[in-house]
C-alpha cells in the first residue's frame, strides 16, 4: 500500500425531499447565486421549482445560466463567468448532472481568476480559489458532486481537458434519488459505465498489488453499481435501486476508490475524451467502447492478474479473458456500445482520434505513444 | 435507503515516514501543544522522538500529558484540561491508540467549556467547540482518528460514556503503519474485534434492508479486517497487512459504514462498556464476549436474514447459526475471549453488569430493558 493523503470536506445531504435544504445551506455562503443548469429536464421533473423555492425562501437571489450541454463547452462557461462577474454573484449552484456541475465549477474558478478561463485547463495556470459551489445532483455518474475535479471541452480546439483543486470541492451537494426516477435507460446506462470506469482506472493502472482494502472497496462499489443498474432497468421507479446507484456512483470517484494505489492514470478516460470532443457522443457510451479495448491491451502488456481478481470478485468469472467478455456482455445488455462502429465512429478515423488524444495524454503525463493509442483503438473496431 | 447527511473533513496523511509531517500541519493551527500519550510504548518504538523532532523543527512547543490508561479516565482528562489551560495550549496532539486520541478529544473540548468536563459526557451539555486536535495513530481499532466521537470512563462512578461533535473531528491524523509493526498479537486482535464491532453494529441494528451499497462496503471492510489480521498473526512485520489493517479500521467507523441505515444503535458497545468500566478489561476482549451473545439474541428476536447475508459475504457460511459459529471460531483463533469466564468475569456478576449497562442504554435512548441485557449476558456464560 503506497503512501497517500486524503481529505474530502463535501457535505452530502442525501435522500427524499432534501432539495428544500439547499436554500438554508447556500445562504450561509452568499446572497446571489449563479444557477447553472442544462435544458428542460429539471423544469419537467420539478427540480427547478424546488430549487427556486428553497433559494427564494432563504433570501438568495438567482441569476440564471441555463443551456449547459452534455459535454459542457468553454464558450458557454466563459459566458457564465461574465454573468457571475457582471451580477456580482457570490456563489455558484449547479442543478443537473456532471455536466452542469463541471461547468459550475469552471465558472466558480473562472470568476476568481484574472486570466483566460482556458489557462486553468490547459496547464498554464492552477486553480487557486473559486466561488463557493453548491450542487443538486440529478444524474449519478461523474462523482463531480463529491470531488475536486471538473472537465470542460474547448469548442474551438476540440480539446476535452480537466482541472482539479481543493477549492473545487462543493460546499454542499444534495442527492435526492427521486430526481432520477424518470431518467431514461440510456442515461442510466451511461452513468453506470462512467462509475465502473472510475472504479477500474485506478484498480487496473496501479503497480501496487497489496492495497487490498482499496481493492475490496472497488469490488464492493462495482458490484453495487451493476446490481443497482439491473434493478433500475427492470423497474425504473425502484427508489431503493436509484438510491443505491446514486450513492455508489458518488463513492466511485470521491478519492476512496484509489487510496494506496500510488501513481495511477486514466487511459480509458484520456482516449474517450477525444470521442466526446470530436463526435459529441455521451461520455458513458464512449467509455463502454474504449474500456474493453483497453483491457485487451492491458492483458497483453501487464498480464492477467488484475483482470482475474476483478472478474472473480465482481462477475464470478474464472480468468482474464472471461472478465473482459463478461464486461462486454454486460455493457451490451444495458444497451451501451462496445465497438466504435456501434457508437457511429468509422474505423478510418482512428488516426484523427489518436492525434486528438495525444494532447490529453501528454498533459496528464501518461506513458502512451500514438502507436499504443492506435493499437487500443484498433481493438475497438 | 434512508435519508442521511455526511461530512468528514479529517485530513489523513497515511504511510511510511509521515510523522515528519506533523509539525508543519500542527503549526498552521497553534504554537503550543498539549501532547497526550500513554506509557512507554511510543518511547520504545521511536514515535515519541519523531513527534518531538517534527514539532520542534516547526516551532511548536510541547506541554507533556503522559499516562493515559487503556480505558482513559475522567480524572486524568481533567488534569489534562488544567494543564492545557494553565499553559495556554492552543492545540492538542494525541500520539497513541484510541485511548490517547479519545482523552485528547475530551481535553480539547474541556478546555473550551466553562463547566465540569463530565457534563459533556453525561448528557448535561453538548460539545460546541474544542481546541484543534491532531493525532498520530499507533493502534488501529477505534476509528477515533477519523470521527467525531470519544469515550471516557468516569473513575468515580464507573460509567464509560461517550460524546460526539463536529468540533471533535481531528484536523489532521497521521497513520504510519510502521508504528504498528511491533504491536503484540493481543492488541492486534483487540483492534480487529473493535473494527468488526463497528462494522456490525449498524449493519445488524438497521431496520432498512435496502441500503445495499452500504452493506457491500461493510462486507468489504469486514473481509479486509479479517484477511489483514490473519496475515499479521502469521507475520507481525508484514507492512502491507499492517497498512491494510490500519486503513480498514479507520474506514470502519468514519461514518461511511452506516450511511442510509437510518436509526441504528450500538448494543454490543453499550453492554461492553460496562465490562471495561467494572473490570478494566480491553474493549476488544469485552466485545468478542458480547458480540456472539448479542447475535444469538438478535437471531431469536429479529430473524436470520442479516446474519445469513453477512455470513455469506464475509465467511462463506450458509445460515445464521453458521455465521455466529464462524465469528466465534474466528475470535477464538485470534486469541480473543468469547465467554465471560474467559475474560475473568464471573457469571454471578451479571446483575451488577446489567445494572451498570442500563445507564448508557438509557442515555443512548436504546430499547433494551434490564431483563433483555441479562438475557444477552446469559448467552455469554
Instruction: Tell me the CATH number at A218.
Output: 1.20.1090.10
pTM for this structure? Answer: 0.97
Q: Would residue A328 count as lying in a domain?
A: yes
**Shared-domain flag, residues A95 and A198:** no
Residue A280 has pLDDT above 90, yes or no: no
- Per CB-CB distance under 8 Å, the chain B contacts of A213 are 220-221, 224, 228, 244, 247-248, 251
Q: Would residue B327 count as lying in a domain?
A: yes
**Shared-domain flag, residues A216 and A331:** yes
Give Cα B187 distance to the centre of its chain: 13
Residue B46 has pLDDT above 90, yes or no: yes
Q: Would residue B154 count as lying in a domain?
A: yes
**Shared-domain flag, residues B104 and B52:** yes
Domain end, chosen from B178, B208, B226, is at B178
**Shared-domain flag, residues A41 and A114:** yes
Mean pLDDT, residues B237-265: 97
**Shared-domain flag, residues B192 and B338:** yes
From the number of C-beta atoms within 10 Å of its C-beta (0-12, 13-18, 19+), residue B42 rates as: buried
**Shared-domain flag, residues B159 and B95:** yes
User: CA angle, A294 as apex, A293 and A297 as ends, to 5°?
Assistant: 95
**Shared-domain flag, residues B215 and B351:** yes
Domain end, chosen from B178, B211, B228, is at B178
User: CA angle, A11 as apex, A8 and A12 as ends, to 5°?
Assistant: 110
**Shared-domain flag, residues B169 and B243:** no
Number of helices (H), then strands (E), belonging to chain B: the values are 15, 8
**Shared-domain flag, residues B167 and B152:** yes
Q: Would residue B309 count as lying in a domain?
A: yes
- Per CB-CB distance under 8 Å, the chain A contacts of B5 are 11-14
pLDDT band at A40 (very low <50, low <70, confident <90, very high): confident
d(CA A15, CA B31): 42
SS3 B134: strand
- DSSP states of A238-260 as a string? -HHHHHHHHHHHHHTTSSGGGTT
Nearest to B256 by CA among B314, B291, B211: B211
Q: Please write the tens of the pLDDT for every residue from B70-119.
A: 999 999 999 999 999 999 999 999 999 999 999 999 999 999 999 999 99
What pLDDT is stored for residue B306 in this prediction?
98
What is the domain extent for residue A331? 183-378
**Shared-domain flag, residues A149 and A228:** no
- Per CB-CB distance under 8 Å, the chain B contacts of A222 are none
Tell me which residue in A14, A240, A259 faces B3 most closely, judged by beta carbons: A14
Residues 117-136 of chain A whose Cβ lies under 8 A from any Cβ of chain B? none
Tell me which residue in B3, B223, B240 faces A1 most closely, judged by beta carbons: B240
Q: Would residue A6 count as lying in a domain?
A: no
Give Cα A338 distance to the centre of its chain: 19
- Per CB-CB distance under 8 Å, the chain B contacts of A143 are none
Q: CATH number of the domain at A22, please.
A: 3.40.50.1970
Contact by Cβ (8 Å): B69, B102 = no
d(CA B358, CA B373): 8
Domain count, chain A: 2
pLDDT band at B192 (very low <50, low <70, confident <90, very high): very high
Residue B230 has pLDDT above 90, yes or no: yes
**Shared-domain flag, residues B226 and B166:** no
From the number of C-beta atoms within 10 Å of its C-beta (0-12, 13-18, 19+), residue B119 rates as: middle
Q: Would residue B82 count as lying in a domain?
A: yes
**Shared-domain flag, residues A35 and A141:** yes
Q: Would residue A67 count as lying in a domain?
A: yes
Q: Would residue B5 count as lying in a domain?
A: no
Distance from CA of A166 to the nearest CA of B (A): 12
Tell me which residue in A11, A214, A220 faces B217 most closely, judged by beta carbons: A220
Contact by Cβ (8 Å): B90, B31 = yes
**Could you tell me if A20 lies within 8 Å of chain B, comparing CB atoms?**
no
Domain end, chosen from A145, A178, A211, is at A178
pLDDT band at B280 (very low <50, low <70, confident <90, very high): confident
Q: What percent of chain A is modeled with pLDDT above 70?
A: 100
The per-residue b/e assignment along B68-87, b for 16 or more CB within 10 angstroms, e otherwise, is bbbbbbbebbbebbebbeee
Q: Please write the tens of the pLDDT for every residue from B329-366.
A: 999 999 999 999 999 999 999 999 999 999 999 999 99
Amino acid at each position: 500500500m503506497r503512501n497517500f493523503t486524503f481529505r474530502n470536506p463535501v457535505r452530502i445531504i442525501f435522500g427524499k425531499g432534501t432539495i428544500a435544504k439547499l436554500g438554508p445551506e447556500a445562504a450561509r455562503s452568499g446572497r446571489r447565486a449563479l444557477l447553472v443548469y442544462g435544458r428542460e429536464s429539471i423544469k419537467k421533473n420539478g427540480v427547478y421549482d424546488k430549487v427556486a423555492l428553497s433559494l427564494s425562501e432563504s433570501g438568495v437571489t438567482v441569476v440564471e445560466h441555463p443551456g449547459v450541454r452534455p459535454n459542457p463547452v468553454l464558450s458557454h462557461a466563459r459566458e457564465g463567468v461574465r454573468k457571475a462577474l457582471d451580477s456580482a454573484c457570490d456563489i455558484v449552484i449547479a442543478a443537473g448532472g456532471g455536466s452542469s456541475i463541471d461547468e459550475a465549477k469552471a465558472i466558480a474558478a473562472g470568476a476568481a481568476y484574472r486570466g483566460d478561463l482556458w489557462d486553468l485547463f490547459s496547464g498554464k495556470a492552477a486553480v487557486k480559489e473559486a466561488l463557493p459551489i453548491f450542487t443538486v445532483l440529478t444524474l449519478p455518474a461523474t462523482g463531480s458532486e463529491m470531488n475536486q475535479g471538473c472537465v470542460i471541452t474547448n469548442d474551438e480546439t476540440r480539446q476535452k481537458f480537466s482541472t482539479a483543486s481543493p477549492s473545487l470541492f462543493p460546499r454542499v451537494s444534495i442527492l435526492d434519488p427521486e430526481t432520477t426516477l424518470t431518467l431514461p435507460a440510456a442515461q442510466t446506462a451511461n452513468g453506470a459505465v462512467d462509475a465502473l470506469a472510475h472504479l477500474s482506472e485506478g484498480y487496473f493502472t496501479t503497480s501496487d498489488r497489496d492495497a487490498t482494502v482499496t481493492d475490496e472497496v472497488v469490488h464492493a462499489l462495482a458490484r453495487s453499481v451493476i446490481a443497482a443498474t439491473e434493478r433500475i432497468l427492470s423497474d425504473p421507479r425502484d427508489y431503493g435501486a436509484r438510491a443505491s446507484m446514486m450513492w455508489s456512483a458518488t463513492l466511485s470517484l470521491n478519492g476512496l476508490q484509489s487510496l494506496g494505489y500510488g501513481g495511477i492514470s486514466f487511459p480509458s478516460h484520456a482516449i474517450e475524451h477525444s470521442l466526446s470532443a470530436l463526435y459529441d457522443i455521451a461520455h458513458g457510451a464512449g467509455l463502454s467502447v474504449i474500456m474493453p479495448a483497453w483491457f485487451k491491451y492491458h492483458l497483453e502488456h501487464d498480464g492477467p492478474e488484475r483482470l482475474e481478481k476483478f472478474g472473480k470478485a465482481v462477475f464470478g468469472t474464472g480468468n482474464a479473458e472471461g472478465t473482459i467478455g463478461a464486461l462486454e456482455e454486460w455493457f451490451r445488455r444495458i444497451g451501451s456500445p462496445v465497438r466504435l462502429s456501434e457508437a457511429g465512429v468509422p474505423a478510418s478515423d482512428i488516426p484523427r482520434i489518436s492525434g486528438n488524444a495525444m494532447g490529453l495524454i501528454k498533459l496528464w503525463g501518461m506513458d502512451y505513444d500514438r502507436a499504443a493509442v492506435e493499437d487500443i483503438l484498433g481493438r475497438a473496431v
